[in-house]
Amino acid sequence: MVNLIESDSIWKRNFNYLFFSRIVKISGDMFAFNSILWFLIYDGKGAIGTALLIAVTFLPEAVLAPVTGPFMKQTTLKFWMYFSDLTRAAIVLIIPLCHFAGFSPLWFVMTLMIVHSATGAAYNPASIALIPQIVNEQGIQKANAVLQSSAQIVRLGAVTLCGAFLTFISPSYTMLIALVLYLVSGFLVLFIKYTAVESQSESAVVTQRGTYIGRLKRGFRLVRKHQILYPLAIYCIFMNFAAAPWEALSAVYVAEDLNGQPIVYSLLKATTAAGAFLLGFVLAKVKVNRYGLLFVTAGIIEGFAFFITGMNTFLPLVFFAAFTFGAAVSAVNVPEYTIIQTSVDSEDQPQVYAVIHMISNISIPAGAVICGYAANAFGSGKVIAAGGIVEIIAGIGILLFTKLAKAERSDLIKEREASVHL
């Protein structure tokens, strides 16, 4: 299943620019979200404002990603990323400027944050589809692993640094730091130089894919008829549904069930980031042949981590589960991205990623609403454990009754060749 990755380095000009652009962009996202969160609190918007902020942070991106996907072509991927960074930079400039002028109603801030989230519908699919254009096929897994593991550490560090700035300066001025980070990220993207290469037969097929509506439908049809991506998308739904209790209730669980202080919650988050970094580092060194098996196995292990966390209050075991959960995040995301990049024609990758992202993320708000009511009746710990049971059962079903876990790298390439003519 695994071998050591050959020493051919991915650290070349284009990947270097992509890597540092992603790092700076993630830092900008962390500064933007946390500064706007505390801006709403200090501005008297209270629980309603913060709840709405969390809702608009991911829903517009998930819903709009399939809509923007058909516009993306291999030759324009970096420009979509640049457009996203530039738009987000404008938003984190407009909010503080309007606040300084005495105008910051909740509806206005939420409208801008909807646009902020929506730009992710362009950046994320484009960045995933860009990797195979600038890294050879043998280096795709390593590139995904490097980006995944580094992102976890950067998020943790950026949140900590942003907290320090928020302590000494106002949220409005902290947003201006996010402005600079977004501009730097977009500037780095412009230095990426590549030439989209495809065979004559593929080019002819792409030309015949039709109008915007035809390409939009094609993304959904590809996922539905793909023997590997369809079960992957189904399991993503169950995984996100199972993770919703932990995301929504973890702070309450630490405070009420574990009788912990905020520092315990912060340490759990840091432990999770450490697990994600370590597993990402390992995947950058080890070559995987059966990505689907790694994906499903990681999901099942993640389910056990949720179950262990929810069913006991022994703090060292909870920290171990948090570390396992973090490792599982990398072991899920890296094979998911690599499967899409290997089994789908390059022209279809942004749209396919967007469709899977939308389908899987719709389950998050549903799970969050359900677990909120369930926690009042049964307690946060039991609801988190129940989410783990759902993920374990779904994973075993996918493992036994679909081709996802059985598919090898050669099967992914066959699926890609077949999808071109679909």
313-357: pLDDT as tens digits: 888 888 888 898 889 889 999 999 999 999 998 888 888 888 888
- The CA distance from 146 to 172, in Å, is 33
Structure tokens at 141: 């897994």
Q: Which CATH number fits domain 8-195: 3.10.20.30, 1.10.260.40, 1.20.1250.20, 3.60.70.12?
A: 1.20.1250.20
Classify burial at 6, counting beta carbons within 10 Å of its beta carbon; exposed 0-12, middle 13-18, buried 19 or more.
exposed
Amino acid identity of residue 365, one-letter, is: P
Q: Running DSSP on this structure, what letter comes out for residue 5?
A: P
Bridge partner residues of 3 (DSSP): 287
Which letter does DSSP use for residue 71 in this model?
G
Given CA atoms 79, 80, 83, 89 in this order, what sign does their dihedral have? negative
Q: Is the pLDDT of residue 208 over 70?
A: no
d(CA 129, CA 74): 8
Instruction: Count Cβ atoms below 10 Å from residue 231 Cβ, excluding itself.
Output: 22
339 Cβ neighbours under 8 A, 6+ residues apart = 228, 229, 232, 291, 292, 295, 412
Q: Are 363 and 240 in contact (CB under 8 A)?
A: yes
**Following DSSP, what letter does each residue of 155-202 receive, concatenated?**
HHHHHHHHHHHHHHS-HHHHHHHHHHHHHHHHHHHTT--------HHH
Tokens encoding 359? 């389908």
286: enclosing H helix or E strand? strand 286-288
Distance, CA of 277 to CA of 208 (rounded, Å): 42
> How many other CB atoms are found less than 10 A from the CB of residue 344?
27
What is the overall mean pLDDT for the chain?
Answer: 84
* Domain boundaries for CATH 1.20.1250.20 within the chain: 8-195, 210-422
Provide the whole-model pTM: 0.82
Tell which residue, 146, 68, 208, has the closest CA to residue 338: 146
Highest mean pLDDT among 110-114, 137-141, 298-302: 298-302
Nearest residue to 66 (alpha-carbon basis) of 109, 122, 146, 10: 122
Distances, alpha carbon 306 to alpha carbons 29, 246, 279, 396, in Å? 27, 8, 18, 16
Fold assignment, 210-422: Growth Hormone; Chain: A; (1.20.1250)
Q: Name the band, by pLDDT with cuts 50, 70 and 90, for residue 290.
A: very high
Q: How far is CA 32 from CA 172, 186, 369, in A?
A: 10, 16, 26
Per-residue pLDDT at 138 exceeds 50: yes
**How much of the chain exceeds pLDDT 70, in percent?**
92
Give pLDDT tens digits for 21-80.
Answer: 999 999 999 899 888 888 887 877 765 676 677 667 767 777 777 877 777 887 888 899
Average the pLDDT over 178-196 and give the result. 91
Tokens of 27: 């830092």
Beta-ladder partners of 2: 288
Task: Output the six-digit token pair for 246.
Answer: 């932990």
Residues 144, 337: Cα–Cα separation, whole Å: 7
Task: List, for residues 373-414, the tens digit of each pLDDT value.
Answer: 888 888 888 988 999 999 999 999 999 999 999 998 889 988
